[in-house]
Amino acid sequence: MMNLVPRIVLLPTAAGVFWCTAVLALLVTAINYGNNLIFALAFLLLSVWVLAGWQCRRSLSGLEWLPSPAPEAFAGEALRISGSVRARPGWRHDPMMLCAGRGRHRHFGPVTRMPETEAPELSLPAPARGRQRIGDLQLFSLHPLGLWRARRALPEVTALVYPHPAGERPLSGNAPSPAHRRQESGDFQGVRAYAPGDSKRRINWRIYGRRDELAVNSFDGGAGGRALWLDAAACEGDLETRLSQLCQWVVAAERQGKEYGLRLGNGQDYPPGRGRAHYRDCLARLALYGEQTAAGQGSAPCVSQGAAS
């Protein structure tokens, strides 16, 4: 749980400025003509203007922001940011929305009227892969009459944008190299450290209970399983084209339930595995490829002819 930044920015809208100007015009008219009825109307409108500002600021006071997990999306899709708002006991929720950006580039989410059942959300464009930091996320309110706008800053959100899955080459049905033994038989040989992709049925739970470390039982037989290596050397085109092709292969391999690993070149191999966690790890490595190699770990994935091996 994260508390909101205490400072609330309250400014009149264009309608609020026009309202205040009309009140001043009525006051001048009332003074010139000495008309008490116009005086009453002017002070009534002025009190409405002031109370609207107080209510607008109050709509964002006493709230706590509970962000959702870090948003993720493929390049070219909408990046969905959401969270829930909780008020203090006895504090009423007023309509509000999420917004991000400045000036003409500001994006607004739909108005949230019932935060108990509907969390504020916002969709932002995700044009390119990589880590996207959203540092100007705010809660925004025009309640109750649209005469004032209140903004309250939220903590920075870091999103991960994966490469756009695209490419002309289909996923190969062959598994060019063995990854590990998935089904083994024969005499028990002992235990070894767990490797990504090992069958959960071979985990030695007694060792895990004593040492809090994952280890698997090892046998001396079995044909072993073969995993599919998704190799950057089998892709063509520039860096982004190759990453998009690899991303497409990762998505296809996951949908087909295959065991797969990544080879990005220059010794950057990600061991074969399967499952949702492995899938997201592979996509994250593709999304952050430039950041990982910027420290001198290598250049772009190399290009060569032939299939992955």
Question: 150 and 174 share a domain?
Answer: no
Last residue within a domain, chosen from 160, 194, 210: 160
Question: 149 and 196 share a domain?
Answer: no
Question: 68 and 99 share a domain?
Answer: yes
Which residue type is seen at 239?
L
The tally of domains found in the chain comes to 3
Please check the confidence at residue 200 and state whether its pLDDT lies above 90. no
Condensed to tens digits (0 to 9), the pLDDT of residues 148-176 reads 999 998 988 999 999 999 988 888 654 44
* Average pLDDT, integer, range 58-74: 85
Question: 189 and 127 share a domain?
Answer: no
Cα 203 to chain center, whole Å? Answer: 33
Condensed to tens digits (0 to 9), the pLDDT of residues 202-214 reads 777 777 777 777 8
Question: 203 and 286 share a domain?
Answer: no
Question: 213 and 241 share a domain?
Answer: no
Question: 213 and 268 share a domain?
Answer: no
Question: 76 and 212 share a domain?
Answer: no
Please check the confidence at residue 240 and state whether its pLDDT lies above 50. yes
Residue 279 in contact with residue 196, Cβ under 8 Å?
no
Instruction: Note down the domain range covering 95.
Output: 1-160
Condensed to tens digits (0 to 9), the pLDDT of residues 171-199 reads 865 444 444 444 444 545 567 777 766 66
3-state secondary structure of 16: helix
Last residue within a domain, chosen from 128, 160, 192: 160
What is the distance between the alpha carbons of residues 110 and 120, in angstroms, rounded to a whole number? 7
What is the distance between the alpha carbons of residues 89 and 107, in angstroms, rounded to a whole number? 31
Question: 10 and 155 share a domain?
Answer: yes
Question: 113 and 141 share a domain?
Answer: yes
Condensed to tens digits (0 to 9), the pLDDT of residues 298-308 reads 444 433 222 33
Last residue within a domain, chosen from 126, 160, 194: 160
- In a 13 Å sphere around the CA of 91, the CA atoms on its Cβ side amount to 14
Question: 152 and 109 share a domain?
Answer: yes
Residues 6+ apart with CB under 8 A from 270: 261, 262, 263, 264, 281, 282, 285
- Ranked by mean pLDDT, the top range of 16-20, 74-78, 153-157 is 16-20
Which has more confidence, 6 or 254? Answer: 254
In this prediction, residue 165 carries a pLDDT of 92
Residue 145 in contact with residue 95, Cβ under 8 Å?
no
What is the distance between the alpha carbons of residues 286 and 250, in angstroms, rounded to a whole number? 10
In this prediction, residue 282 carries a pLDDT of 93
DSSP, res 301: P
Question: 201 and 244 share a domain?
Answer: no
pTM: 0.69
